[in-house]
Amino acid sequence: MPELPDIVVYIEALAQRIVGKRLNIVRIIAPSLLRTATPPLGESEGKRVIQIRRLGKRICIGLEDDRWLVLHLMIAGRLHWKPLGAKLARPRGLAAFDFENGTLLWTEAGSQKRASLHFVQGKAGLQALDPGGVEIFGSDLEGFAKALQAENHTLKRALTDPRIFSGIGNAYSDEVLFQAQLSPMQLTQKMTPEQTARLFAATHATLQEWIDRLRSETGDKFPEKVTAFHDEMAVHGKYKEKCRRCGNVIQRIRYGSSEANYCPFCQTDNKLLADRSLSRLLKEDWPKTPEAMETHIERRKRS
């Protein structure tokens, strides 16, 4: 799923192309995409783009008369800038926005169509879509700590909950926690002040690093290779690869449809976190350390 750094770069690329331009036609071929009926989507046509902003992981295109097109890309949604009138094809095509100078295509890979489009009026319409999470770059340490410890969650859950923090998802939360050298399963209300300050600094640094990196990679082009997996990432998507900091093996735990990637040597005092499904299967045989895991694997190979 595109997260805060990806959305920032999308918005900057869109601003260069469509702010001040007129939206001529909106073409939708995925019936489930549009989630609002009032005001009618047709009222967006013929209006100029006044501004673009981010709302969590949503892209908000502000039009004349305080109307807003709010795009939520979800996991597999992507945007593409094409010449005016570009064709929109199934099965990936969702919608096309024909501006006076080009067409913004919206696609979504996979069979589960989760992306959504809202067309809303004014500040109240936007607020209704805002989960309410703290904006990292608009918060100080005190505000960050207050949001983090309001309820007792794991760090992984807290960082990825849009009601707590805005714009952070599965990929960048892994990178933040690696930078902070904290366990994804650390409970928020058991954090020390020093750990909280370290997490705050790591969150800022990691998100800014990736905004700068993606800006540099994109340049004046439109971002076409938006992905949750980058070779330069430290732990996300690096399961079984060597940790760049200590040289040991990156591990992961899975829960539901998500996973957390981490280095046990750097983040969990050389302890393996219990993967819910595997630990339930292995019960008391669940290895407690990476070395024990290697021994367990070797035994299974010999048996």
CA angle 57, 33, 70 (to 5 degrees): 40
Nearest to 157 by CA among 287, 239, 253, 54: 253
Q: Residue 1: which of 208, 229, 157 has the closest Cα?
A: 229
Domains assigned to the chain = 4-127 (3.20.190.10), 135-303 (1.10.8.50)
Distances (CA, A) of 257 to 28, 75, 215, 232, 254: 29, 11, 30, 24, 7
Which amino acid makes up residue 48? R
pLDDT value at residue 296: 42
For residue 302, the model assigns a pLDDT of 52
Mean pLDDT of 247-269: 91
Read off the DSSP letter of residue 215: H
Note the pLDDT tens digit of each residue in 181-237.
Answer: 999 999 999 999 999 999 999 999 999 999 999 999 999 999 998 999 999 999 999
Report the half-sphere exposure of 135 (CA within 13 A, side-chain side). Answer: 8
d(CA 183, CA 274): 12
**pLDDT reading at 41 higher than 60:** yes
Q: Are 63 and 44 in contact (CB under 8 A)?
A: yes
The pLDDT assigned to 110 comes to 85
146: number of Cβ within 10 Å:
12
What pLDDT does 282 receive?
A: 41
Distance, CA of 131 to CA of 251 (rounded, Å): 31
Please say if the pLDDT value at position 281 is more than 70: no
Task: Identify residue 256 by its one-letter amino acid code.
Answer: G
Assign 3-state DSSP to the chain and report helix, strand, coil percentages, each to 5. Answer: 35, 25, 40
Span 25-37, pLDDT tens digits:
999 999 899 999 9
Tens-place pLDDT, residues 131-176: 999 999 999 999 999 999 999 999 999 999 999 999 999 999 999 9
Mean pLDDT of 263-292: 68
Rounded CA separation 280/178 (Å): 26
pLDDT score, position 81: 98
Pairing of strands 58-63, 49-55: antiparallel
Tell whether the model's pLDDT for residue 303 goes beyond 60. Answer: no
State the CB neighbour count (10 A cutoff) for residue 243. 20
pLDDT (average), residues 60-83: 97
- Mean pLDDT, the chain, rounded, equals 92
CA angle centred on 112, ends 106 and 116, rounded to 5° = 45
Identify the band that residue 1 occupies on the pLDDT scale cut at 50, 70 and 90: confident
Q: Is 168 helix (H, G, I), strand (E, B) or coil?
A: coil
Q: Taking the model in full, what pTM does it have?
A: 0.90
Instruction: Please state, as a whole number, how many other Cβ atoms lie within 10 Å of the Cβ of residue 19.
Output: 14
DSSP, res 286: -
pLDDT category of residue 290 using cuts at 50, 70 and 90: low
pLDDT band at 255 (very low <50, low <70, confident <90, very high): confident
Sign of CA dihedral 112, 256, 152, 289: negative
Give yes or no for residue 268 having a pLDDT over 90: yes
pLDDT digits (tens, 9 = 90+) for 88-123: 998 999 999 999 999 999 999 988 889 999 999 999
Closest Cα to residue 95, out of 172, 27, 12, 177?
27
